[in-house]
Amino acid sequence: MDAYNIELRSHDIATLANGKWLNDEIINMYANMITNRNTSEPGRYPRVHMFNTFFYSHLRDNGDKGYDKVKRWTKKFDLFACKYVLVPVHLGMHWCCAVINFDKKRIEYYDSLLSSNAQCISLLRNYLDKEHRDKKNTPFDLKGWTNYTPTVRCT
């Protein structure tokens, strides 16, 4: 199966089975599906952007230059016009998801193992400020923004 310039093979599809660990190709395909839905059906759903699986590692692994590695990723759209921004976070063998929730003014971190990730939240706060300075020429007002990490499993 080949869509959105991502080739999915049978072993990629197999990661969708119950109890299996997702791989980056499946997550990137989903990110492209979300982006395509926003483009093809504007106004029908809340505006959502999902970065691909390389975004967070570029931001995290490049220190002070992390923003420089990803700032071009938003040149074709206004990140601040989104209601939600989804950020896949890879922790070795385990995927988590961070969400920049503009509606509730909070940075959310979801991990099925119920861990928290202060580094991720801090990086995303810093990213928002740098992105706003770069694209809007003013600092991002984080006043009133909170962090949210669930500590119990949903049933």
pLDDT means over runs of 10, the chain (155 residues)? 61 66 79 83 88 94 92 94 96 91 97 90 97 97 96 70
Residue 99: what pLDDT?
A: 98
What is the pTM (predicted TM-score) of this model?
Answer: 0.86
CATH number at residue 61: 3.40.395.10
pLDDT at 81: 95
| E strand segments, the chain | 2-3, 6-7, 48-50, 84-91, 94-101, 106-110, 146-148
User: What pLDDT sits at residue 79?
Assistant: 96
Domain-located, residue 37 = no
The whole-number pLDDT of residue 3 equals: 53
Please indicate, yes or no, if residue 9 is contained in any of the structural domains.
Answer: no
The answer to whether position 61 is within a domain reads yes
What pLDDT is recorded for position 21? 72
Domain count, the chain: 1
27 contact partners, CB below 8 Å, separation of at least 6: 52, 53, 88, 95
Say if 26 falls within a structural domain.
Answer: no
The verdict on residue 30 lying in a domain is: no
Is 35 a domain residue? Answer: no
Q: What is the pLDDT of residue 86?
A: 97
Residue 6 placed within a domain: no
What's the confidence (pLDDT) of residue 13?
Answer: 64
82: containing domain? 47-148
Q: What DSSP designation does 99 have?
A: E
Which helix (H) or strand (E) segment holds residue 140: the answer is: none
User: Does residue 42 lie in a domain region?
Assistant: no
